[in-house]
Amino acid sequence: MAIQNTPATAVANGEPHIAPLDASKLIVNLSKTLKPLPTTDDVHFGEIKTDHMLVMNYEPTAGWSAPEIKPYGPLSLDPACSCFQYCPNVFEGMKAYVGPDGEPRLFRPHKNMERLARSAERVALPPFDTDALLVLIKRLIAIEARWIPAKPGHSLYIRPTIIGTRPALGVAASDSAMIYVILTPAGLYFKGDAKGIPILAVGHSVRSWPGGTGGHKLGLNYAPGFLPQKIAAKQGYSQVLWLFGDDSRITEAGAMNFFVVVQRDDGDLDVITPPLDGLILPGLTRASCLELLDAHTQGKTVLPNIPASTRLHTHERILTMHDLIAWSAEGKLLEAFCVGTAVVIAPVGRIGFEGKDIVLPTEDTGLGLVGKGLWERVVDIQGGRYPWEDWSVTCE
């Protein structure tokens, strides 16, 4: 679905034409020299950039400029631009995978475009045609296809970004903007057999709050998390589990959605994640996991290595640290894992809370039955090895 609202400045006759984002106007300027591909897996996430980037600008009187694919390089911006001062900056995180046929594929990319449009709207950035941007991203991926690592689970990470470029200090919505898209090859954050990570539950600093912006992918949501993250790392924890409220409600872990698996008395399993109440970023991986778990229980598919008879009951409901402590004491807390595009599914080994650790039974083995089944299925769908609905799309 295209989200293309008429900009507020567009008026009938006599007024300048406000150009919509038009993929057919794409200008391609290829780099004369190409960079060598990385020869090792041992690179930090996001450090290596590919040869090209996609850039387009919005001006209030002209609308969207012709989009351009050009050699990757620095941007030139007025130092007064609102992105540097008031942070109307939004982004997406998606990945391109290479399928068994050698074709680059994207995973549910329309969902990323819709979320990007919602994020832009939240900070009053100008609207854009989401279908046109996706066409342009596919062109960029096709040009950069040699950068997609062929190893299973490896991918090319895509970072679409919109920044407010209004070059004035007035505290107001940015009526100018730039969309740019950059690419970086990505290995596996966590392998399917990685051990569980330790995470620290933090309630004194909050990531999001009712009426706030935690449900949108805005740059301004992340910097305030860096200090608590640093403090947690000093104590030996690799991520912060963000709590909210006097009842120590769990929201998310780092920049990932959070799930637990709980044994039921009837032998089935409950799979629980916090609800989308505005404090939670509506992750595509989260939504995909919930849909796959439901499909397993409804007999529409069988998740790898999970018996078809094992019913997985999904719940989007409030989850507190006290719930986790109680289930852990009763031996019912079977798994905890974090999900997101970068990690796919990351196992949690222990959760620090008020000076004690809740230790998961899968601490040493990593992903448990449900986490592993999801990880394998999601990675197979992304890589085009397991067709599922219209989730995996080629870049034609």
Residue among 40, 366, 356 at smallest CA distance from 200: 356
CB of 284 to ligand PLP, least distance (A): 4
For ligand PLP, what does the binding mask look like between residues 81 and 120, x meaning CB under 6 A? ------------x---------------------------
Instruction: State which residue, 109 or 126, has the beta carbon closest to ligand PLP.
Output: 109
Among 217, 296, 350, 377, binds ligand PLP (CB under 6 A): 217
Answer positive or negative: Cα dihedral of 353, 356, 361, 363. Answer: positive
As separate numbers, helices (DSSP H) first and strands (DSSP E) second, the chain gives 7, 19
**Span near ligand PLP by CB under 6 A; candidates 130-138, 193-201, 280-288, 383-391:** 280-288
CB of 355 to ligand PLP, least distance (A): 26
Site for ligand PLP in 233-252 (CB under 6 A): 252
Unique residue bearing structure tokens 């709980």: 262
Q: How far is residue 142's CA from residue 151's CA, in Å, rounded to a whole number? A: 18
Instruction: State which residue, 18 or 253, has the beta carbon closest to ligand PLP.
Output: 253
Here the tokens at position 188 are 């596996």
Residue among 51, 21, 23 at smallest CA distance from 143: 51
CB of 42 to ligand PLP, least distance (A): 24
Among 106, 123, 256, 336, binds ligand PLP (CB under 6 A): 256
Instruction: State which residue, 112 or 248, has the beta carbon closest to ligand PLP.
Output: 112
For ligand PLP, what does the binding mask look like between residues 8 and 37, x meaning CB under 6 A? ------------------------------
Among 65, 257, 273, 362, binds ligand PLP (CB under 6 A): 257
Work out whether 176 is an interface residue with ligand PLP (CB under 6 A).
Answer: no
Instruction: State which residue, 126 or 274, has the beta carbon closest to ligand PLP.
Output: 274
Among 314, 341, 362, 382, binds ligand PLP (CB under 6 A): 341
Which CA distances in Å does 346 have to 119, 197, 336? 26, 8, 9
Residue among 183, 212, 203 at smallest CA distance from 45: 183
Work out whether 219 is an interface residue with ligand PLP (CB under 6 A).
Answer: no
CB of 255 to ligand PLP, least distance (A): 4
User: Total residues contacting ligand PLP (rule CB under 6 A)?
Assistant: 13
Q: What number of other Cβ atoms are within 10 A of residue 7's Cβ?
A: 16
CB of 171 to ligand PLP, least distance (A): 26
Residues near 299 by Cβ (< 8 Å), separated by ≥ 6?
308
Work out whether 284 is an interface residue with ligand PLP (CB under 6 A).
Answer: yes
Instruction: State which residue, 64 or 258, has the beta carbon closest to ligand PLP.
Output: 258
Work out whether 162 is an interface residue with ligand PLP (CB under 6 A).
Answer: no
The DSSP H or E segment spanning 183 is: strand 177-186
Here the tokens at position 290 are 């919930």
Instruction: State which residue, 98 or 378, has the beta carbon closest to ligand PLP.
Output: 378
Residues near 256 by Cβ (< 8 Å), separated by ≥ 6?
239, 283, 338, 339, 340, 342, 343, 346
Among 82, 285, 297, 392, binds ligand PLP (CB under 6 A): 285
72: helix, strand or coil:
coil
Q: Quickly list H helices, 75-129.
A: 82-85, 109-122
Work out whether 283 is an interface residue with ligand PLP (CB under 6 A).
Answer: yes
Q: How far is residue 212's CA from residue 279's CA, in Å, rounded to a whole number? A: 7
Among 281, 324, 351, 395, binds ligand PLP (CB under 6 A): 281
Work out whether 215 is an interface residue with ligand PLP (CB under 6 A).
Answer: no
Which CA distances in Å does 36 have to 40, 174, 184, 251? 12, 38, 13, 41
Among 340, 347, 352, 368, binds ligand PLP (CB under 6 A): 340
Which CA distances in Å does 359 have to 106, 109, 329, 335? 36, 36, 10, 10
Work out whether 372 is an interface residue with ligand PLP (CB under 6 A).
Answer: no
Q: How far is residue 295's CA from residue 29's CA, in Å, rounded to a whole number? A: 45
Cβ atoms of 125 and 52 closer than 8 Å: no
117: helix, strand or coil:
helix
Instruction: State which residue, 177 or 289, has the beta carbon closest to ligand PLP.
Output: 289
Q: Which residues of this chain interact with ligand PLP, rule CB under 6 A?
A: 93, 217, 252, 255-257, 281, 283-286, 340-341
